[in-house]
Structure 1
Amino acid sequence: MIRSLVRFGVCVLVVTGLSVVGAPSPVVAAATREVVVTGGAIAGVVSDGVVEYLGIPFAGSTGGAARFGAPRPVSGWSGARSARGHGPQCPQNGYLPALPTAGPTGEDCLTIDVYAPDGAVGRNLPVMVFFHGGGYTTGSNAQYDAPTRMVAEGDVIVAVPNYRLGPFGFLSLPELAAESGGATGTVGIQDQQAALRWVRDNARAFGGDPGAVTIFGESAGGGSVCTHFAAPGSDGLYDKAIVQSGSCARSPLVPGGRADSFARSARFADSVGCGDPATRLACLRGLPAERLLDASAGQSDDSTPTWVPVIDGVVVTRDLEAALRDRVDRIPLIVGSNGDEGAQFVAESDYARGRIPDAESYQSYVRWTFGTYADAILARYPVADYPSPAAAQSAVITDGLFACPALWTGRLARDAGHPVWQYEFDEAPLGDGNPLLPGAFHSAELFYLFNGVFGVPLPWTGASAVFGEQMRRWWTTFAHTGDPNAPGSGPWSAWPGPPGDGAVLIMRATGSFMSDDFPVRHHCEFWAARPM
């Protein structure tokens, strides 16, 4: 259910002309740089003062007998391996039923892309590791193929790994637990840990400091950041964290329990013809990847996502709220959400399928998603209070699933002693009046942090370009110092701070400012009384 629709947003950007660029530049032979990493030498390419090393294997193939298993060591190679192209995406379907995947897929997909300033070797720069979103079912490092401005302007190294998705990353069965010392439903998180260990072991080859690693992610990537707080194997692999439109508290994507995950995975196995517990693991490993991606076999039950990490007691050892509260090391955190998160989900569930939400479909959505709390929610968010049923539905999604969980995450971290900077991103890339994606929709902030998405450049000008520079300055300054503030960046107060306890930074191109009305605007007291 919680799916990052970056690709859909890019399609709209193209249609609206935002990303139209001039004629292609003449092809010029690019300079290369070689470094040695785990497995052998790699040859990257220099572009605009940044060296791109793409498609680097950080673990072995996950196919065949390795399917559903912990990541295996990478095999070595001879000579300098070309690192000029992204590796395949991990197996997945397209973002929407009518769309193909954004690129080639395959089970030999555990690769990492590294972007470093040219001449960084020997400099000991901070490293930022980004976990992509996609509801734990879609996405890859290829869709974020241009953090070059962040790297060049912020003087940091950015690494973006792939990790296994859907049943390949989060299948949870007693047989898997039995063969892996109890670990189950967590190999996608184990992939991320393997990537973080790879960064620790190889950071210095690129000029990075293995002791200064910031993990950051959006949507399921933000949820992944939170999950590492509860994963002891991740301890010591990062020292700062940024959670974007994800949550450590009361989100549908927080790790679930073993019993529920076993039941959902058993139903999934049965749906693809592997229902016998005595043989189902071998059966599932023998099926083509495409069969496991059958949309009818892996869809969610009711409003609960099928594929999320599991509190297995081995890799993920406890719920995220307890993990954040009880951590001994008080790591600095940036936590935030977007002002109109729900707009993207309405676009996916309705507009992209040729439907326009009406009062009846809005009520049906609320009843299907929130069950016994539906009447109270419909009373708090009546259609009459909004310009359209779509706007009412977007507000419910924004407040209940993103804004308030982000607020609670920040409060929990603050009360536990973590330095916390809270934000609300409130800039509309397509304009507030866009009929399909109005406002600061889910994933909108990525269009300012990255200067290209899915190979589509984002040529901001004027105030939008300045705003993008400011966004990247906040993120990279935080990676350097553990505090997003820098000379000339404007005050972003840590919690608690002025103008009131728990004030958040409202991020806008017309001027960002601190405000304490966030809990009221998003009805967080109301949502606090309704367990998710």
Structure 2
Amino acid sequence: MVLFQKYFTAGALRNPRSFRRLLVAAAVLMSASAAVVVPPAAAAPDDTVVTVTGGPISGRHANGIVEYLGVPFAAPTSGENRFAPPQPVAPWTGVPATHAHGPQCPQASPAPFGLAVQESSEDCLSIDIYVPENSAGAVLPVMVWIYGGAFVLGSNAQYDSPDRLVREDKVIVAIPNYRVGPFGFLALPELADSTGGITGTYGTLDQQAALRWIQENAAAFGGDPGNVTLFGESAGGMSVCTQLASPLARGLFHRAIIQSGSCARSPLSPPDSELAFQRSADYAASLGCRDPHTRLNCLRALPVGKLLDSPSAELHSMAVAWSPVQDGVVLTSAPEQALAAGAARDMPLLVGSNADEGATFIALLDYLKGMIPDESDYLAWAQELFGDNAGQVLRQYPPVDFSSPVKAKEKVLTDGFFACPALFTTEAARAGGAEVWQYRFNEAPLGQNPVLPGAFHAAELPYVFTELLGIPIPLPPAGDQLSRRIQ
């Protein structure tokens, strides 16, 4: 969920008279020293320069840490690289200053009237690295964050910056971009035929490319490639699950944290290839690319905006259109089954959810559309979403047991999509030999307001990151202490 928008303003000299006086003073000083020969001062060495895959980069000091932003870890994903596994990054010349986030991967804007919250491009596979100062020669833990957004939204720029976590706890935090929506998860038989079976897992492979980049380059920043924690929230949590299940990710990380994105019985759970093929074929047909013999070339020829001109590219309901696919290569089984079979054996896992997750989805899917669900809306919603199981759900969560139909719906969303799946995830992981810690986050950062009450979905993020989209998150003293404990 995008919480804030960051605005940048260019600095300028605001007083022309002062500027003229400055020029006169400079001229006097130059004439007075014309006869004096002064050797040029040696440039101070840049202590932030490191060499990574592709070439050297220069970071910047900020808030007691060193930031390296927008570092490419893979090639652009346009043209023939669209709907394809990520390709190696091309080497560069010089020492680029990596001081700004790269563009986000293409996605439909969640802002009103389609306003862009960030520049987007198919040249989006970059990673942001946040490093404690004076880390040369150190061997620091590395944490790799995977952002959420229902697999249709998100970017690493939203999580700027984990400065206190990095500075005070002496860890390196790395945040990669990955492709979302059809760009990351389109699945078609012809794609599988051309890539040895890989289809619908390009966003998952982007994450793995970033994890391999960390393995290759962590030591350059003072990090330990043998001590990598993968963590994420919502679709980022499910991404952690898919990496746990993927045989191609073995050895790329050593601990995992799954926040409100459970591995078991979630709408984000990876579908089988047959269902994914049907969804993607319907999507392609809706854009005029119907012929199986030509639709891949047809889709690759379409402009980015046309590919996003589909309801499936936006979050409209709890029925998700795009997610990683069980393609038999990158993902060979559902994460729940993989965990139960020992995919995380002897690995420490932290799994949890928030006490009032459903509030966020009522705000996004009801309130923003100008609707406050009444009892008939609640009953119709349950029937549409749960089908033959709706009666069972309504008997367990009858509207009469709640202060309002909104509260009943919120509780169904919280339990059915987050709390119970988190428990199922823990059960599967423990059965497979993982070490599991479970949490339930119940802090209410906005109190019991009528729009986002309680510990809503994503409410824990300001406690993990002290800034979101570069905006500091003010917390009361007790909340700040909780944030420090969480970090």
Shorter-chain TM-score above 0.5: yes
Q: How does 1:260-275 map to 2 (within 5 A)?
A: 260-275=275-290
| Deviation of the 1:295 alpha carbon | 3.0
Aligned equivalents of 2:315 and 2:66: distance in 1?
41
Aligned equivalents of 2:257 and 2:314: distance in 1?
29
In the alignment, structure 1 segments of 5+ residues that lack a partner are: 15-23, 25-30, 473-532
- 2:229 is the alignment partner of 1:225: no
- 2:376 is the alignment partner of 1:386: no
Aligned equivalents of 1:219 and 1:300: distance in 2?
13
Q: How many residues align?
A: 448
| Bigger Rg, structure 1 or 2 | 2
* CA shift digits 1:83-122 (9 cap, x unpaired): 1100000000122564523200010000000001011121
- 2:270 is the alignment partner of 1:289: no
Aligned pair partner of 1:343 in 356, 359, 365: 359
Q: Which residue of 1 is the match for residue 227 of structure 2?
A: 212
Counterpart code for 1:296: P
Give the secondary structure class of the aligned counterpart of 1:33: coil
Paired residues of 2:312 and 2:321 also in contact (CA < 8 A) = no
Aligned pair partner of 1:364 in 372, 380, 384: 380
Aligned pair partner of 2:417 in 401, 406, 417: 401
Paired residues of 2:349 and 2:435 also in contact (CA < 8 A) = yes
Paired residues of 1:272 and 1:297 also in contact (CA < 8 A) = no
Counterpart code for 1:103: Q
Q: How does 1:413-428 map to 2 (within 5 A)?
A: 413-428=429-444
Counterpart code for 1:331: M
Aligned equivalents of 2:62 and 2:154: distance in 1?
24
- 2:268 is the alignment partner of 1:239: no
Counterpart code for 1:367: Q
Give the secondary structure class of the aligned counterpart of 1:399: helix
Moved more, 354-363 or 404-413: 354-363
Q: Which residue of 2 is the match for residue 137 of structure 1?
A: 152
Aligned pair partner of 2:393 in 377, 380, 390: 377
Counterpart code for 2:244: F
Counterpart code for 1:202: N
Q: Which residue of 2 is the match for residue 517 of structure 1?
A: none
Aligned equivalents of 1:257 and 1:301: distance in 2?
22
* CA shift digits 1:290-339 (9 cap, x unpaired): 11111336468986321111111111111112211223642110000000
Aligned equivalents of 2:184 and 2:319: distance in 1?
17
Q: How does 1:501-520 map to 2 (within 5 A)?
A: none
Aligned pair partner of 2:54 in 33, 39, 45: 39
Give the secondary structure class of the aligned counterpart of 1:444: coil
Give the secondary structure class of the aligned counterpart of 2:86: coil
Q: Runs in 1 of length 4+ with deviation above 4 angstroms?
A: 297-303
- 2:81 is the alignment partner of 1:66: yes
In the alignment, structure 2 segments of 5+ residues that lack a partner are: 12-45
Q: Which residue of 1 is the match for residue 445 of structure 2?
A: 429
Q: Which residue of 2 is the match for residue 18 of structure 1?
A: none
Paired residues of 1:32 and 1:45 also in contact (CA < 8 A) = no
Aligned equivalents of 1:105 and 1:194: distance in 2?
20
Give the secondary structure class of the aligned counterpart of 2:433: coil
Counterpart code for 1:351: Y
Aligned equivalents of 1:151 and 1:388: distance in 2?
43
- 2:475 is the alignment partner of 1:460: yes
Aligned equivalents of 1:63 and 1:147: distance in 2?
31
| Deviation of the 1:357 alpha carbon | 1.8
Alpha-carbon distance change, 369 to 101 in structure 1, aligned in 2, over 3 angstroms: farther
| Deviation of the 1:278 alpha carbon | 0.7
Aligned equivalents of 2:232 and 2:450: distance in 1?
28
* CA shift digits 1:400-456 (9 cap, x unpaired): 01000001111211222211100000001100x211000000001001000111222
Aligned pair partner of 1:251 in 266, 271, 279: 266
Aligned equivalents of 2:114 and 2:246: distance in 1?
35
Q: Which residue of 1 is the match for residue 199 of structure 2?
A: 184
Paired residues of 1:271 and 1:297 also in contact (CA < 8 A) = no
* CA shift digits 1:185-212 (9 cap, x unpaired): 0000000000000000000011000010
Q: Which residue of 1 is the match for residue 18 of structure 2?
A: none
Paired residues of 2:152 and 2:315 also in contact (CA < 8 A) = no
Give the secondary structure class of the aligned counterpart of 1:214: strand
| Deviation of the 1:384 alpha carbon | 2.1
Paired residues of 1:302 and 1:369 also in contact (CA < 8 A) = no
Give the secondary structure class of the aligned counterpart of 2:264: coil
Aligned equivalents of 1:167 and 1:205: distance in 2?
34
Aligned equivalents of 1:362 and 1:103: distance in 2?
35
Give the secondary structure class of the aligned counterpart of 2:58: strand
Q: How does 1:160-175 map to 2 (within 5 A)?
A: 160-175=175-190
Paired residues of 2:342 and 2:433 also in contact (CA < 8 A) = no
Q: What TM-score do the two structures reach when normalised by structure 2?
A: 0.89
Q: How does 1:36-185 map to 2 (within 5 A)?
A: 36-95=51-110, 98-185=113-200
- 2:409 is the alignment partner of 1:411: no
Paired residues of 1:32 and 1:46 also in contact (CA < 8 A) = no
Alpha-carbon distance change, 145 to 299 in structure 1, aligned in 2, over 3 angstroms: closer
Alpha-carbon distance change, 330 to 97 in structure 1, aligned in 2, over 3 angstroms: farther
Q: Which residue of 2 is the match for residue 203 of structure 1?
A: 218
Counterpart code for 1:183: I
Aligned equivalents of 1:300 and 1:442: distance in 2?
15
CA RMSD of aligned residues (A): 1.8
Q: Which residue of 2 is the match for residue 528 of structure 1?
A: none
Paired residues of 1:121 and 1:208 also in contact (CA < 8 A) = no
Q: Which residue of 1 is the match for residue 30 of structure 2?
A: none
Q: What TM-score do the two structures reach when normalised by structure 1?
A: 0.82
Counterpart code for 1:384: V
| Deviation of the 1:365 alpha carbon | 1.6
Aligned equivalents of 1:469 and 1:46: distance in 2?
22
| Deviation of the 1:379 alpha carbon | 2.1
Alpha-carbon distance change, 81 to 301 in structure 1, aligned in 2, over 3 angstroms: closer
Give the secondary structure class of the aligned counterpart of 1:327: coil
